[in-house]
């Protein structure tokens, strides 16, 4: 036995730069030669609505009585040009998600849930399904670069049409639906051979710039006899200019999706490194509308990380007319539920972190085309859960609006907000809490 004194050792230290997740991705890339593909939106911590707080009423403002005084929640979308604008009972809508990415029962459940509370759902790449049209009392039909399943009969059946330029998870990128999910039905709807990787184009095939877009929107209006509201959806990158150009091109509604907005399948590097958080995008978008004299005339729907009524209220206070939810709606249906933990473990993941939606093995039966797995989702029960959740979002937003003395959610305004961080203050252009300072706007 040695008498030499024991030298204390430092604890093993992981690199903050090459952390465990980063190193595991390097090993995965080296083994496979292909980038990591996954679903959902940005997972990194970003400046978000949590960094804002409402200033409830006190002496200088008076609140509304919680259960007795009215606080309106309805919203009209598309009254700029469309003969038949949409009237929603709540400003919380369901974002575009494709049949193909989602199962038929999942689309049906979205329709059931949304219709129960008087809001809309949105199709996605791959066309309109009877499940969704049948259950969605208000259905927005997406017009995408791939034009998979696009046909004029469905355009006429839609309640509104959304021209998709991009989405927050991958602005500038196209879609991807891997062969595992190209079932007979999906293949038929998209006019592709079964089992091939389906790549959706990133640009529309028959127009390029904003002047062309104006003609394209006019074409859709002509085809539908100017009845349907036309939305234009953009991923959040340069929101001031994109919103201004969408308005110039004739949009009735602009949909602005931040980088937290989900996708069915895209490269991880794309999701985490392209686009900006929705918090940073709303004010420039609203500014563009105000500069053009079109705020509240062309409606703004924002999405990307909306989770609760506070997020809804904050988005509206910053100037949006409505919000859209995607990831949260899937969670409400049953996605990533802890009761499926054992099955998520078998897939090498854990409930709450499952994002390999493109592989079609979703144990919750939502992001799959597997006939056995999709049977697990009861569209009636799942639709009820979504309806409950949408009601909670609406009521929570009302709670906050009443506390701020507002008789309608649309009366919320930036003046009702302060920021907890300098980043949020600069992005949302509301003062840092306890000060009158807005970096980039006012002096400290």
Partner 1 sequence: METVTFDLEKTPLREVNQYLHSDAAELDGKTVTITNPGGAHNIAVGLKADVDVVIDGHAGYYAAGMNQVANVVIEGSAGTGVAENMMSGRVHVKGFASNAAGATAQGGLLVIDGDAGLRCGISMKGVDIVVGGSVGSFSAFMAQAGNLVILGDAGEALGDSLYEARIFVRGNIQSLGADCEVKPMDEEARQILVKLLKESGHADVDPDSFTLLGSARTLYNFHVDNAGAY
Query: Site residues (CB under 8 A) for partner 1?
Result: 32-34, 146-147, 150-153, 155, 178-179, 190-193, 195-197, 199, 201, 205-207, 212, 215-216, 218-219, 222-226
For partner 1, the closer CB: 123 or 135: 123
d(CA 110, CA 160): 17
For partner 1, the closer CB: 190 or 406: 190
Tokens found for residue 9: 């050792």
d(CA 279, CA 309): 15
Residue 175 CB, shortest distance to partner 1, in Å, is 12
> Number of C-alpha atoms within 13 angstroms, CB side, residue 299?
27
For partner 1, the closer CB: 264 or 312: 264
Residue 222 CB, shortest distance to partner 1, in Å, is 5
Residue 37 CB, shortest distance to partner 1, in Å, is 9
For partner 1, the closer CB: 147 or 307: 147
Residue 116 CB, shortest distance to partner 1, in Å, is 33
361 and 39 Cβ atoms separated by less than 8 Å: no
For partner 1, the closer CB: 358 or 429: 358
Query: Residue 257: which H helix or E strand, with range?
Result: strand 253-257
Residue 360 CB, shortest distance to partner 1, in Å, is 14
* Residue that has been written with the tokens 């730069």 in this structure: 17
316 and 412 Cβ atoms separated by less than 8 Å: yes
From residue 140, give the alpha-carbon distance in Å to each of 229, 239, 255, 276, 324. 9, 22, 12, 25, 12
From 151, 103, 146, 143, select the one nearest 123 (Cα to Cα): 143
> Number of C-alpha atoms within 13 angstroms, CB side, residue 159?
19
For partner 1, the closer CB: 66 or 152: 152
Residue 191 CB, shortest distance to partner 1, in Å, is 4
Residue 38 CB, shortest distance to partner 1, in Å, is 15
- Measured in whole angstroms, how far is the alpha carbon of residue 21 from the centre of its chain? 26
Residue 323 CB, shortest distance to partner 1, in Å, is 31
For partner 1, the closer CB: 89 or 361: 361
For partner 1, the closer CB: 33 or 434: 33
207 and 216 Cβ atoms separated by less than 8 Å: yes
Residue 194 CB, shortest distance to partner 1, in Å, is 10
DSSP 62-84: -PPPTTTS--B--EEE-TTT-SS
C-alpha triplet 234, 237, 241: angle, nearest 5°: 75
Exposed / middle / buried, residue 388 (Cβ in 10 Å: 0-12, 13-18, 19+)? middle
Burial 226-265 (b: 16+ CB within 10 A, else e): eebbbbbbbbbbebbebbbbbbebbbbbbbbbbbbbbbbb
Q: Work out the number of other CB atoms within 10 angstroms of the CB of residue 428.
A: 24
Residue 201 CB, shortest distance to partner 1, in Å, is 7
408 and 72 Cβ atoms separated by less than 8 Å: yes
For partner 1, the closer CB: 148 or 231: 148
For partner 1, the closer CB: 150 or 347: 150
Residue 204 CB, shortest distance to partner 1, in Å, is 9
For partner 1, the closer CB: 74 or 206: 206
């Amino acid at each position: 036995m040695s008498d030499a004194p024991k030298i204390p050792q430092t604890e093993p230290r992981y690199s903050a730069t090459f952390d465990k997740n980063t190193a595991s991705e390097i090993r995965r890339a080296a083994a496979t030669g292909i980038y990591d593909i996954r679903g959902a939106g940005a997972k990194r911590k970003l400046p978000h609505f949590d960094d804002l707080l409402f200033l409830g009423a006190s002496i200088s403002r008076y609140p509304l009585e919680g259960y007795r005084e009215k606080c309106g929640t309805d919203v009209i979308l598309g009254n700029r040009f469309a003969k038949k604008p949409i009237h929603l009972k709540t400003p919380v809508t369901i974002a575009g998600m494709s049949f193909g990415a989602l199962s038929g029962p999942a689309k049906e459940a979205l329709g059931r849930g949304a219709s129960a509370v008087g809001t809309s759902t949105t199709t996605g790449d791959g066309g309109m399904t009877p499940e969704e049209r049948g259950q969605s009392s208000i259905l927005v039909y997406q017009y995408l670069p791939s034009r998979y399943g696009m046909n004029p009969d469905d355009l006429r059946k839609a309640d509104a049409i959304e021209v998709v330029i991009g989405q927050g998870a991958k602005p500038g990128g196209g879609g991807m639906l891997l062969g595992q999910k190209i079932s007979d039905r999906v293949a038929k709807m998209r006019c592709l051979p079964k089992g091939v990787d389906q790549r959706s184009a990133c640009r529309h095939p028959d127009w390029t710039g904003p002047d062309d877009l104006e003609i394209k929107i006019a074409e859709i209006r002509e085809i539908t006899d100017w009845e349907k509201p036309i939305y234009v959806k953009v991923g959040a990158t340069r929101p001031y200019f994109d919103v201004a150009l969408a308005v110039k091109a004739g949009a009735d509604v602009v949909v602005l999706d931040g980088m937290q907005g989900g996708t069915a399948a895209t490269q991880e590097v794309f999701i985490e490194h392209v686009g900006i958080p929705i918090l940073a995008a709303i004010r420039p978008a609203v500014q563009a509308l105000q500069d053009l004299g079109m705020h509240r005339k062309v409606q703004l729907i924002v999405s990307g990380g909306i989770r609760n009524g506070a997020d809804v209220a904050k988005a509206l206070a910053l100037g949006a007319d409505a919000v859209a939810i995607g990831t949260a709606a899937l969670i409400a249906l049953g996605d990533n539920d802890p009761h499926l933990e054992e099955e998520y473990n078998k897939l090498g993941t854990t409930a709450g972190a499952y994002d390999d939606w493109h592989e079609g093995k979703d144990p919750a039966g939502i992001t799959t085309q597997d006939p056995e797995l999709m049977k697990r989702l009861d569209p009636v029960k799942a639709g009820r859960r979504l309806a409950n959740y949408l009601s909670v979002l609406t009521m929570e937003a009302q709670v906050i609006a009443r506390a701020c003395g507002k008789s309608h959610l649309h009366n919320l305004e930036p003046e009702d907000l302060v920021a907890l961080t300098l980043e949020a203050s600069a992005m949302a252009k509301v003062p840092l809490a306890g000060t009158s300072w807005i970096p980039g706007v006012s002096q400290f």
